[in-house]
Each structure stands twice: as structure tokens, then as C-alpha cells.
Amino acid sequence: MQKNQLNIAVIGAGLTGLTTAYYLKKFGFKVQVFEKNNHAGGVIQTHRKNGFVFESGPNTGSMGQEEAAELFEDLADDCTLEYANKSAEARWIWLNGKWHEMEMGGVKAITTPLFTWHDKFRILGEPFRKPGTDPNETIAQMVRRRMGKSFLRNAIDPFLSGVYAGDPETLVTRFALPKLYWLEQDYGSFIGGSIKQKKARKKEPPRKANRQVFSVENGLDNLIKALVKNIGDENIKLDCKQLEIKNTGDQEFSVDGESFTHVISTVGSHALENLFPFLPKEKMQTINKMKYAKVTQVVLGFNNWKGIPIKAFGGLVPSAEKRDVLGILLPGSFLKNRAPENGALLSVFMGGIKKPEMFEYSDEKIKEIAEREVREMMGLDSFEPDLMEIFRYPHAIPQYSFESEEKVQAISDLETEFKGLTLAGNMRDGIGMADRMKQGRTIANQFAEDYK
Ligand SMILES: Cc1cc2nc3c(=O)[nH]c(=O)nc-3n(C[C@H](O)[C@H](O)[C@H](O)COP(=O)(O)OP(=O)(O)OC[C@H]3O[C@@H](n4cnc5c(N)ncnc54)[C@H](O)[C@@H]3O)c2cc1C
């Protein structure tokens, strides 16, 4: 098949779908995006109200992939990448009724109450411990083996609440934190491996992926608008409420009455069965074993902040502390123009994989919890926010757990059986925004390679 004979449908206009379509179009392919909602962006949505600019989905990403940095370079005329200011370097962990700064280097790393003396000494032996042999080891098993229980309780558990709203006892390292897994496998140690990687990188050309915290000036929806502008409104069909895709022949699909040679799905696994009724049930059952964390995000704005000093990225809460929040993010402190001067913008996260029942709580109950937790944790005498918005996500974050290997195999089998079909999105290849940009770019690169 020649390049000009291809007609590609991308399902879903979230970050993955839009990045895929953007590069496909840039590489000269004919592409049409289909989206269920009446707007693009998926979970990325920015709101502007009462002098605050706030996100209802992701707030920030980590620039961990070259492809993400390159996408921002490619879109530089239409949106401006914003890196967090220095305040974001301060990260807090809640322990025994107060916040403690997370310090992994210097004197504070020795004096911190977050880790036991036993584990602080034990970490010195980390480079000498043998690498694991179980490819499906969970993050909790791996951290206990290499670092100790207090690191799991007060560093890794809250970190995973922040990233996955997940549980270290069920997330499998190879899929959920692949960079960490391969650090151990390739170098035998996290500490030794990080040092060796740093040294090796000094000899290579500078990398664009710098792991800094990023957003977009004046809100993440400006990235979405930039992608939409470059793809072209005419190539994005919104409001496709009842889409059902048919496999009408060898490498032939019908989407909304139009014929396509290729379909790239970027929707969540829970939406696949209705969308692709021709996919065999037993493979879908395997894919659908993957759970999603349900998350509630409460955004609070204060015109005049009277709580504790908030020059920080935010704080995370170990699940062993038994609080009702996963963490509190402070975007007004490290991003420009998000809150009035002397004001504060807080994003409070609740629920997650360990507390799914919270998703059902009424607005009143959520407000009560937000007030109780924020008053105590952020040192407020009175609670009179100038902005309070609640956002709920039934399928916020996919959990790369024990079924991951089987799921990836099932996806690969389906893609082999149905030529022209790609099953992508955040059910595989990483959940972060940078991972999503990488996946979209990689898919488009593969098309460019296959159809020169
Ligand atoms: C509350 C929350 C906080 C997060 N925080 C962070 C963070 O701090 N940092 C970070 O890097 N990542 C974060 N993430 C994760 C990150 O935002 C997502 O992984 C990423 O944005 C997902 O993009 P996507 O395009 O793969 O999926 P989505 O954004 O879910 O897009 C999928 C699209 O497909 C559409 N769709 C679904 N079904 C159909 C159908 N049948 N027909 C047509 N269209 C359909 C949907 O409407 C949607 O627009 C967060 C996610 C959530 C929910």
C-alpha cells in the first residue's frame, strides 16, 4: 500500500490521540480524529474563574521523555512551555501530624525522621545487594528488598499515591516504574546505576528530557489548543457519542460511515468493548483485568493566604498515616499567574485505589473532608476559600499490576490478528503526560518508517 492510499482514524482527542494525529499529519498522512466529548483534551482541562487559573485533570508533568520536549519545540509558535520555579524543589511528606521536607542528599538526609536509623545505614549497602530475579516483582517487594520498610512507608508509598493513586503492593515495577526496574537490571543498583548513568550522559550530546516539572503558560489547555490548531478543526470530529467501529475487510474499517485503512485507538480499556464489538471476548477479558484508580480532585483558591508558608511543590501522605487525602499540590506557588498575589491555589487529591468508596461521597461530604484536612494540614484557623471546585474521575489512572504482561500480550495479539489496528492510550507505555506524547510520536514515526 502506498502512503497516499492510507486513511487513518484516531479515536480519542486526549493528549495521546492529538499527539499521534499531529505527527501523522506533519509526516504527510491523511488523518481524522473522532472524539466522544464536545471538546478536545480528554482529562486535560483548564478553567479560569475568580482570578484563578486551574486544572481539573493533570496539573503538571515531568519532562522525562525526549519526545515531550520535542513536541514543545515543534509547537513553540503556538504555546509556551513553562517550567516550575525553584519552589517546586521542596517536597513534603506528612508524618506524625506535620510536614517534613523530603531530602535525599546532604545532612538533612541523615537527620530526617522519615527513615529509621536501621534503614539509613542499610541504604549504604544498596549498591552491593543482588538484583532481583522476578520480572513481576511488585514495587513494595523491590523496595523492601533493596531499601527497607521505612523507605517504602514514607517515600515510595506516598510517591505512588501522587503518581498512580496506587498501591505499591500491587503495582509491578517492570511496568509501573520501568526506568527503576532497568536501573537495577542493567547496573545492579539504584544508587550505583544512577551515578553511572549520569557519568555516561556527560559524554553524550545534551538531552532534552531533563525531568523538570512542566506545565504550559496560562494553562495546559493551551497545549491542546496548539495541537488542535495544527491538526485542523476539519480533521477532528467532536460529539461522536455512539461510535462503533466495524472491521469490514482485510485492513479495512468503517468508522462513522467512512472507510479507513487504519484505526488507532487511544481510549481507556474500559471503552474498548463498545467501540470495537468485533474484538474477541477472551482477549478483552484479559485486557479488562486491569483496574483504574478513581480519583476526586478538590481545587481550592484563597485570595489572601493565611496558612503555613507554601513555597513548595506540595505534600504527599503515606497511606499508613490514615488520612483522607492522598496529597495536596500547590500549583499557585510554582507556576506563574495561577492565583492572585498573596493568594494560594491548592489541588487536594482523594480516593485512589485504596479508597475507591470515596468516589461515591456527596459534594457535601467531600467539602467537609477538604475543610477538615486542609485546616489541619495547612495551618488555617478559618476555612473560607474564594474558590472551591470538585472534579471526579472514575477511570483516572490505570494500574499496571499483576496482569500487565498478559494484557500487553493480548494487545499485541489483537494488533497482529486485525491488521491496521493499533490499541494505544495510557493502558500501556506509561501514564504520565510525557509518556503519552512519546507514545503518540512513536506510533507516527512507525507509520513514517513503514510508508516512506
Ligand atoms: C485527575 C488526574 C490527575 C493527573 N495528574 C497527572 C500529573 O500530575 N502528571 C501527569 O503527567 N499525568 C497526570 N495524569 C495522567 C495524564 O493526565 C493522562 O495519562 C493523560 O492525559 C491521558 O491522555 P490520553 O489521551 O491517553 O487519555 P484521555 O485524556 O483519557 O483521552 C481519551 C479520549 O478518548 C475519548 N473517548 C473515550 N471513549 C471514546 C469513544 N467511545 N469514542 C470516542 N472517543 C472516546 C475521551 O473522551 C477522551 O477525550 C492525571 C490524570 C488524572 C485523571
pLDDT at residue 46 in the model: 98
Cell of 179: 526506568
Distance of CA 237 to the CA centre of its chain: 25
pLDDT at residue 290 in the model: 97
How many angstroms does the Cα of residue 10 sit away from the middle of ligand 1? 15
Indicate the fold that domain 3-44+66-78+219-290+401-450 takes in CATH.
FAD/NAD(P)-binding domain (3.50.50)
- Among 433, 437, 442, 443, residue to substitute to test ligand 1 (most atoms within 8 Å of Cβ): 433
The ligand 1 site (C-beta within 6 Å) comprises 11-17, 34-37, 42-44, 57-61, 240, 243, 266-267, 271, 275, 295, 297, 393, 396-397, 425-426, 431-433, 436
3-state DSSP assignment of residue 76: coil
Q: Which residues contact 56 (CB under 8 A, 6 or more apart)?
A: 43, 45, 46, 47, 297, 299, 389, 391
Give the sign of the dihedral formed by CA 115, CA 400, CA 351, CA 218.
Answer: positive
Query: Which atom of ligand 1 is least distant from the CA of 349?
Result: 1
pLDDT at residue 409 in the model: 98
**For every one of its 452 residues, what pLDDT tens digit does the chain have, with 9 covering 90 and above?**
899 999 999 999 999 999 999 999 999 999 999 999 999 999 999 999 999 999 999 999 999 999 999 999 999 999 999 999 999 999 999 999 999 999 766 677 788 999 999 999 888 888 899 999 999 999 999 999 999 999 999 999 999 999 999 999 999 999 999 999 999 999 998 888 888 888 888 888 888 998 999 999 999 999 999 999 999 999 999 999 999 999 999 999 999 999 999 999 999 999 999 999 999 999 999 999 999 999 999 999 999 999 999 999 999 999 999 999 999 999 999 999 999 999 999 999 999 999 999 999 999 999 999 999 999 999 999 999 999 999 999 999 999 999 999 999 999 999 999 999 999 999 999 999 999 999 999 999 999 999 98
pLDDT at residue 169 in the model: 98
How many angstroms does the Cα of residue 426 sit away from the middle of ligand 1? 8
H-run or E-run covering 176: helix 173-176
List the residue whose alpha carbon is closest to atom 48 of ligand 1: 42
How many angstroms does the Cα of residue 35 sit away from the middle of ligand 1? 12
pTM to 2 decimals?
0.96
Query: Which atom of ligand 1 is least distant from the CA of 434?
Result: 11
How many angstroms does the Cα of residue 43 sit away from the middle of ligand 1? 4
How many angstroms does the Cα of residue 14 sit away from the middle of ligand 1? 6
pLDDT at residue 332 in the model: 97
pLDDT at residue 192 in the model: 87
| Boundaries of every domain in the chain | 3-44+66-78+219-290+401-450, 115-202, 291-398
Listing DSSP states for 137-173 in one string gives -BHHHHHHHHT-HHHIIIIIHHHHHHHHS--TTTSBH
pLDDT at residue 360 in the model: 97
pLDDT at residue 424 in the model: 98
Query: Which atom of ligand 1 is least distant from the CA of 43?
Result: 29
List the residue whose alpha carbon is closest to atom 53 of ligand 1: 396
Distance CA 155, CA 324 (A): 18
Q: Which CATH superfamily is domain 291-398 in?
A: Protoporphyrinogen oxidase, mitochondrial; domain 2 (3.90.660.20)
pLDDT at residue 141 in the model: 97
How many angstroms does the Cα of residue 268 sit away from the middle of ligand 1? 8
How many angstroms does the Cα of residue 7 sit away from the middle of ligand 1? 25
List the residue whose alpha carbon is closest to atom 50 of ligand 1: 58
What CATH class is the domain 115-202?
mainly alpha
pLDDT at residue 449 in the model: 97
Which candidate, 358, 347, 374, places its Cα nearest to that of 295?
Answer: 358
pLDDT at residue 44 in the model: 98
Cell of 353: 485505589
Given a contact cutoff of 8 angstroms between Cβ atoms, the answer to whether 9 and 255 are in contact is: yes
Cell of 183: 536501573
Q: Do domains 115-202 and 291-398 have the same CATH topology?
A: no
Question: How far, in Å, are 96, 134, 261 from residue 138 at the CA level?
Answer: 27, 9, 40
